[in-house]
Chain A
């Protein structure tokens, strides 16, 4: 497909899905009303301002965060199958959130849950990075298996803690399943505070990331400070995954699907891949959330079920395509 046409279709789809997501729900609005609301939000319906708009915007922003986290994970691990969900990074964030709920640390300071979510993601990414270095070089498939094992370990301990502490159970289940339905402007602000600098930083390092993707030896010979780039990648992945898990719980496969799809069209070029990941990732998660709200209306299906339904076949396709593994 012509790349320019693809970008044009992507932008049109983004506007269309955004309007559709804003208009659909318990109360329906016409596109005209939505546009009127966007021009002057203060005069719009309170439902649009306080519930619908934060929900749609946060699904876009989390989609963007997860896509960039996926892209950067694939760069860090030199592995197209890397994904914050499959590699246990999201579960690590969830694990630390559960621990903080269990011990009541969520009330230490205002955004302590988001901080623990970040720490958990950082911890999990670091462990995977350590595993990837055991015995020299581990194959991409074995690293994936290690990630899945780690993910199960974190999830099982989280479940144990959730069942053990009754108080934790209520809050944790609510937090995990609520998805985007309880997102408020405050959460969107935190998302933006993390996401915007992460994007700027990633864009500034685009050439270094490209060179890093050729492997460590070549990257060093091209003048890349490999240790520094690894640290930056680790930190950015943890920030973006941590904030996504904090806002909407664990959502899988977005970080796997979006970068792989875009790389097959645009090649390895972070300067193109980062902005396109924002658009496609945001669009995909916004659409998934809309589908989740639509198919059993008025019952809502958690968005993670929709993304897994889309992502699992894509994952199998990648597995069979990459015969070199």
Chain B
């Protein structure tokens, strides 16, 4: 039985085909990156895995079970999500933001255990100075870091990241990548979208090349990231070594 299997996924939006015949399997503890030009359907694919979007056709299986048969809470205990840009519509403390990672476990009111767990992670990552600050006013780097730490609090098995480094400076890019390495070493599965090859080489075991909604290639990083494949993917001549 596969750990995570994406089977025959098709997705359309307003008569435009976004994803076609997507098939892939992901192993437990693996880090896999979806790579491709803008508009190739990367974000749509991860949103289907997260059940944010429903596919036109096809299924996603977790340990042999269709994830659409799971309720929202069970899904949130399996998958956690770090979006490209973390938006906060209202002022809230970083602690209150972090504790929302416990949402799938809370019935009614937040318990003391939940608070203690959050405090424990705050201490572990040495971010005590941020916990009472308004999350809205943190830098983009701090927001991404905090959201990534929230995935530990959510205690999910699979972490899904949509271009988490896009808005970050070098300092936070390094911090996030180091943290992702730690997450990987802890045995969690990572599904990510990155736009730079250095990050992919640093964090990923396998790469999926996505072009016009179809899988072009899938395989180990150093077998897939080649000049020929990149030229084919972006329809541009790359000087890549």
Contact = CB atoms under 8 A, between A and B. Distances in A.
Interface of A: 74, 78-80, 204, 206-208, 210-211, 213-218, 220-225, 263-264, 267-269, 271
Contacts of A221: 50, 52, 76, 79-81, 160
A137 B106 CA distance: 30
Contacts of A206: 109
The 10 A-B residue pairs with the shortest CB-CB distance in the complex, in nearest-first order = A223-B76, A223-B104, A221-B81, A268-B92, A268-B90, A222-B103, A223-B73, A267-B92, A78-B89, A211-B103
Given A207-B109, A225-B72, 5 more contacts: A207-B108, A214-B88, A220-B52, A223-B75, A224-B72
B90 A220 contact: no
B91 interface: yes
B106 to A, nearest CB: 5
Given A207-B100, A210-B100, A214-B87, A220 B92 contact: no
B96 interface: yes
Nearest to B88: A214
A213 B96 CA distance: 12
Describe B's contact surface by its main secondary structure: mixed
Contacts of B74: 223
Contact of B77 (A223, A224, A264): A223
B: interface residue count bin: 35 or more
A77 to B, nearest CB: 9
B109 A271 contact: yes
A218 B76 CA distance: 10
A207 B72 contact: no
B92 A223 contact: no
Nearest to A210: B100
A210 B134 CA distance: 15
A218 to B, nearest CB: 7
B38 interface: no
Nearest to A74: B90
Contacts of A215: 87, 89
Contact of A207 (B79, B92, B103): B103
Given A80-B89, A213-B90, A263-B91, A218 B96 contact: no
Contacts of B92: 210, 213, 267-269
Contact of A222 (B89, B101, B160): B101
A56 to B, nearest CB: 32
Nearest to A79: B89
A215 B110 CA distance: 20
Contacts of A268: 88, 90-92, 96
Contacts of B102: 207
Contacts of B7: none
B93 interface: yes
Contact of B100 (A211, A220, A267): A211
Contact of B110 (A213, A216, A271): A271
B58 interface: no
Contacts of A213: 89-90, 92
Chain A CB count within 10 A is highest, among B77, B101, B108, for B108
B100 A214 contact: yes
Contacts of A263: 90-91
Nearest to B106: A207
B47 interface: yes
B144 interface: no
A218 B89 contact: no
A258 B24 CA distance: 51
26 contacts: A74-B90, A80-B90, A204-B108, A206-B109, A207-B108, A207-B109, A207-B110, A213-B89, A214-B87, A217-B47, A221-B50, A221-B52, A221-B79, A221-B81, A221-B160, A222-B100, A222-B154, A223-B75, A223-B104, A267-B90, A267-B96, A268-B88, A268-B91, A268-B96, A269-B92, A269-B96
Nearest to A207: B106
B51 interface: yes
A30 B74 CA distance: 60
A269 B97 CA distance: 9
B29 interface: no
Contacts of B87: 214-215
Chain A CB count within 10 A is highest, among B72, B75, B80, B90, for B90
B76 to A, nearest CB: 3
A268 B93 CA distance: 8
Contacts of A269: 92-93, 96
Nearest to A227: B72
A221 B50 CA distance: 7
B47 A210 contact: no
Contact of A220 (B72, B96, B154): B72
